[in-house]
Amino acid sequence: MKKTLWFAVVILSFVLLFGSIASAGPILDGILKKGELTVGITGDQPPLNATSRSGEIIGLDADLVHAMEKAMHLKVSFSKMPFSELLPALQEGKVDLVVSGVTMTSERNTKVAFVGPYFISGKGILLKLKSMDLLKKEGMNSEKFRIATLKGSTSQSVIEKLAPKANLTLADSYVKATDLLLQDKTDAVVADYPFCAYMAARYPDKELVVGETKLTVEPLGIAMREDALLINALENFLKTQILSGEMASMQEKWFKSRAWFDQLP
């Protein structure tokens, strides 16, 4: 009974928050007036987000945004850009939100607001089977060990902290970092664990393996500029997604099924 009552309160508060433009904060007011929500995303962080053969943005992040679209009765447009450009674009007002596997860190939180987490991720290490011996012999923190990762990400920060001596290469996307691994131009990729698992599953013939232990705990959040009402509305929206079981269904779809692999180039 208590859970049902709480669920009803969450839905009612969400409706009230979006039911009146007059009561909106400055950023939410602008979103409601234009009738469109512009979301920054990379489009190349599967299974969180990816670009299909038809050019559609798919993945957990995309499904979350589309659920937001229905709840807010707004059109959604995705603005694709490299990961390192996402938060600067948000700060400059070029996008309304960023939903792209962004970890909520204290440093980032001094510049933008976050709602979440909508998923708890962690950093994983992806490498070829033949590189296992080198990793065991030298360890990550060695000049002989080459690591590639995403520029401007928490993955970069993790490597710089845990393996400062490693031969580090920064790429504009995790996909490009993995291309270096497939071409034997690096020994390993450090990325979000779901991405590492996805790559190993999609390319079984490449003898890719994923470290069994996550290197970190990464709470992923929705990033936005400061607007108390927008933040409160999205907090209620996210609670509704979690309490209704919708978030669990989305995670099941993108993390445990391989059916969506056929949509990719």
Cis peptide before 117 (omega within 30 of 0): yes
Neighbours of 3 (CB within 10 A): 8
6 has pLDDT over 60? no
The pLDDT assigned to 74 comes to 93
16 has pLDDT over 50? no
The pLDDT assigned to 25 comes to 82
Residue type, 172: D
Q: Give residue 20's pLDDT band: very low, low, confident or very high (50, 70, 90).
A: very low
Sheet (strand 146-150) strand order: 167-171, 146-150, 188-192, 123-128, 208-210
The pLDDT assigned to 144 comes to 94
223 has pLDDT over 80? yes
14 has pLDDT over 90? no
Name the CATH code of domain 2-120+220-263 (choices 3.40.50.880, 3.40.50.800, 3.40.50.1100, 3.40.190.10): 3.40.190.10
Residue type, 260: W
- Which tokens is 136 given? 């065991």
The pLDDT assigned to 212 comes to 82
The stretch 142-166 carries a mean pLDDT of: 96
134 has pLDDT over 70? yes
10 has pLDDT over 80? no
181 has pLDDT over 50? yes
The pLDDT assigned to 165 comes to 97
Q: Give residue 24's pLDDT band: very low, low, confident or very high (50, 70, 90).
A: low
Name the CATH code of domain 123-210 (choices 1.10.1740.10, 3.90.1150.10, 3.40.190.10, 3.40.50.300): 3.40.190.10
Mean pLDDT of the chain: 91
Q: When comparing pLDDT for 41 and 15, which is higher?
A: 41
The stretch 86-110 carries a mean pLDDT of: 97
18 has pLDDT over 60? no
Q: When comparing pLDDT for 20 and 247, which is higher?
A: 247
Residue ranges matching CATH 3.40.190.10 in the chain? 2-120+220-263, 123-210
